[in-house]
Structure 1
């Protein structure tokens, strides 16, 4: 399961719990809606922070993979040069 799905599930459950709790609370509707709005804004901020952190992790992973790919490409180019030099040497000895 992906991290984004887990985060979305947690946030959805938290929002649903907050809404249910606030709606059945014995307070007037204006106060209830103010609390609901505040909770929703807090949860939205938490979700945005979590998504930004996930985005940063993904960018770091992509950069690492790019560098690893460059290293493999350089290694392959070096091996290719070795094979070409070896082939030239063998052809020269014929």
Structure 2
């Protein structure tokens, strides 16, 4: 999650910086508004792309963890069955 916060912070800072830079530029209002709109749309697209990559990364990580958990569960079930069989054999040998 902290990676998402960093990405969001960097993009937000870039947007604010671009807007401030355009506002202090010696150009007409219409040109400044066009540039602000163009840069904002570009940065919004970059943000959406970054969020989609983060979302996919989270999905991949969740799937990997699910597979690892399933494998560990299967291993635990097999070990439990082994121990149960061993205990039964030793009990029968004892009697």
The TM-score normalised by the length of structure 1 is 0.96
CA distance in 1, matches of 2:51, 2:12: 14
The runs of at least 4 consecutive aligned structure 1 residues that moved more than 6 Å come to none
- Structure 2: 5+ residue stretches without partners: none
Aligned match of 2:25: 25
Q: List aligned pairs for 1:51-62, cutoff 5 A.
A: 51-62=51-62
TM value normalised by structure 2: 0.95
Q: What is the root-mean-square deviation in Å for CA atoms of aligned residues?
A: 1.0
Number of residues paired by the alignment?
A: 94
Structure 1 gap segments, 5+ residues each: none
